[in-house]
Amino acid sequence: MKIGILTFHRAHNYGAFLQCYALQEAIKSLGHEVFVIDYIPKWMSTRYKWFNIKYFIRLNILGSIKSIFDLPNRKRRYNSFNNTQEKNLNLFKTPNFEAINSFFDCVIIGSDQVWNKTYTGCYNSYYFGQFKIGSRPKLIAYAPSMESIEMSEIEQKEMSSLLNKFDFISVREENMLNALQPLTSNHISSVLDPTFLNSKKFWEDYAEINKSSQPYIFLYQASFKRNVIDYAIKIAKEKNLKLITLSSGYSKGNVNNIWDASPKTFISLIKNSEFVLTTSFHGTALSIILNKTFVTLSVSEVANSRASNILDLLGLQQCKKTLQQEFNIPNINWMNINDKIEQLSEKSLNFLRNSLEV
Mind listing the pLDDT tens digit for each residue in 313-347? 999 999 999 998 888 999 999 999 999 999 999 99
Task: Evaluate whether 328 touches 316 at the Cβ level (below 8 Å).
Answer: no
Task: Evaluate whether 196 touches 351 at the Cβ level (below 8 Å).
Answer: no
Residue 64 has pLDDT above 60, yes or no: no
What pLDDT is attached to residue 46?
76
d(CA 290, CA 306): 19
Task: Evaluate whether 280 touches 220 at the Cβ level (below 8 Å).
Answer: yes
Confidence of residue 69 (pLDDT cuts 50, 70, 90): low
0.75 exceeded by the pTM? yes
Closest CA relative to residue 82, chosen from 9, 4, 160, 177: 9
Establish whether the linkage from the previous residue to 111 is cis, with ω within 30° of 0: yes
Task: Evaluate whether 151 touches 124 at the Cβ level (below 8 Å).
Answer: no
What pLDDT is attached to residue 266?
95
Residue 253 has pLDDT above 60, yes or no: no
d(CA 286, CA 74): 25
Residue 240 has pLDDT above 90, yes or no: yes
> In sequence order, which residues have a C-beta less than 8 Å from that of residue 79 and are 6 or more positions away?
260
Higher confidence at residue 129 or residue 255? 129
User: Of 102-106, 114-118, 221-225, 294-298, where does mean pLDDT reach its minimum?
Assistant: 221-225
Identify residue 45 by its one-letter amino acid code. Answer: S
What pLDDT is attached to residue 294?
97
> In sequence order, which residues have a C-beta less than 8 Å from that of residue 186 and are 6 or more positions away?
163, 164, 166, 167, 168, 169
User: Of 98-102, 139-143, 224-228, where does mean pLDDT reach its minimum?
Assistant: 224-228
Confidence of residue 303 (pLDDT cuts 50, 70, 90): low
Residue 250 has pLDDT above 60, yes or no: no
Please compute the mean of the pLDDT values over residues 218-225 and round it to a whole number.
88
d(CA 172, CA 262): 26
Confidence of residue 66 (pLDDT cuts 50, 70, 90): low
Residue 123 has pLDDT above 80, yes or no: yes
> In sequence order, which residues have a C-beta less than 8 Å from that of residue 351 and are 6 or more positions away?
142, 168, 170, 189, 191
Confidence of residue 33 (pLDDT cuts 50, 70, 90): very high
Residue 75 has pLDDT above 90, yes or no: no
* pLDDT tens digits for range 146-201: 877 889 999 999 999 999 999 999 999 999 999 999 999 999 999 999 999 999 99
Going along the chain from its start, the domains and CATH numbers come out as 2-47+89-198 (3.40.50.11930), 200-334 (3.40.50.2000)
> In sequence order, which residues have a C-beta less than 8 Å from that of residue 195 and are 6 or more positions away?
18, 19, 22, 203, 282, 285, 286, 289
Task: Evaluate whether 73 touches 251 at the Cβ level (below 8 Å).
Answer: no
% of residues, the chain, pLDDT over 90: 66
Please compute the mean of the pLDDT values over residues 56-65 and round it to a whole number.
56
Task: Evaluate whether 294 touches 287 at the Cβ level (below 8 Å).
Answer: yes
Higher confidence at residue 315 or residue 301? 315
What pLDDT is attached to residue 119?
80
* pLDDT tens digits for range 16-30: 999 999 999 999 999
- Residue 270, SS3 per DSSP: helix
What's the chain's average pLDDT?
89
Confidence of residue 55 (pLDDT cuts 50, 70, 90): low
d(CA 331, CA 321): 14
SS (H, E, C) 123-189: CCHHHHCCCCECCECEEEECCCCCCCCCCCHHHHHHHHHHHCCCCEEEECCHHHHHHHHHHCCCCEE
Residue 6, H or E segment? strand 2-6
% of residues, the chain, pLDDT over 70: 91
